[in-house]
Structure 1
């Protein structure tokens, strides 16, 4: 019998010229900031997750590629992260930069007692990355309506919590200055809670913007939301079967 060999998955179309230029610019920024960082060990830790993200995107390039908008947002976030990794998040001299531009201290004007660059990045995590997360849900999981807004928000908050656990674990494992630099609490016992709250706030703002745009583009978004909350006929049938007295999904599978 003749055997057929599966054709390899075709490569997704290349990103636009603008995205490739932005990616090249990010690589230049990353390479420049990789030179003589404030703390090399902290820099390595901060870039470990970035390396993991790049590997995942590379491995999935044949099956899925983000839109140009998503790629711009991801690159913007990674560039901000590269800046924080270079100086360590608690030492980014944004206040000195602001004073050189305006002659005034931003921290004093806002009454800040700590370096808030890390808070900005957590906020940007939600603001910039919820759109790519939503795109993944829409194109791969094929969610619609309410779930297309709720699930990206949920994943943003849950991954933010996972990152806080990673920070805590790294601080416990490495300890000393390296652990404290990576943790970056700056003496605030509620640092992790505030970071997660800011990520959620950024994601919520982005979701509301997306919803507002969709409302202008779609004739009846309320109908789309209502339909997304209804189970299909097939799923309703499965649910009814699962609830029949004396019958369990496992038992039915065993009887097939």
Structure 2
């Protein structure tokens, strides 16, 4: 009896995402390579370090999610794709990624000239992809962690994209005050646009709305009436029990 009890207590509990282990290992390895390449002679080293404060903070969160909360392949790929894009911005600084030089070199035309842009829009792309790539993972995290069903995990995912984008803009402002003028300006990346923060937040919300709308269409087609029944049930006001 004692031996059986000892064996039971020593049973290893698999990670919640064990079925995606190989994929996550490859994505993680690619991220390590991306960080190494991004850190090789960055345009502004001090800004590179500042840009990685949140990356370091995200690492234990991702490990916790891997161990405790099952996420879909779509969510894991979205999370890591966003981190790869961030590494590109961290290397050059967000306002100086030479995408226009690349399009001229590779395709023979100016992207900025084609659209009539007068500023570097890479930072806007990153804010848009923040919503586009992370809204669905946030939905799965909220649904799994908070045990929410129906309408509410979708709503709170978009709400979290909005609120976290607002919070990030406050962090950028604080960084501009704390660090040197050069680093603060690079990290803030307004490029002279007084409405930069507002546009960044809006783009994140638009990206999140697009991603969640696509996911809702796919999920509703897959599950049919059950999907919409869950939505209706979640929005119904239930009478209190005496």
TM superposition score normalised by structure 2? 0.90
Q: Does 1:118 align with 2:120?
A: no
Size of the alignment, in residue pairs? Answer: 233
2:107 to 96, 102, 109: 102
Alignment of 1:48-59 (within 5 A): 48-59=53-64
More helix by share: 2
Q: Secondary structure at the match of 2:68?
A: coil
Alignment of 1:72-221 (within 5 A): 72-220=77-225, 221=227
Deviation for aligned residue 1:141 = 0.9
Q: Secondary structure at the match of 1:35?
A: coil
Distance in 2 between residues matched to 1:70 and 1:8, nearest whole Å: 29
**Structure 2: unaligned runs, 5 residues or longer:** 1-8
Partner of 1:250: none
Distance in 1 between residues matched to 2:112 and 2:129, nearest whole Å: 19
The answer to whether the 8 Å contact 1:70/1:132 transfers is yes
Partner of 1:44: 49
Q: Secondary structure at the match of 1:115?
A: coil
2:234 to 205, 228, 242: 228
**Structure 1: unaligned runs, 5 residues or longer:** 1-5, 242-256
TM superposition score normalised by structure 1? 0.85
Q: Deviations over 1:163-216 (max 9, x none)?
A: 000000110111411100000000000000000000000000001001100121
Partner of 1:10: 13
4+ residue runs of structure 1 moved beyond 4 angstroms? 6-9
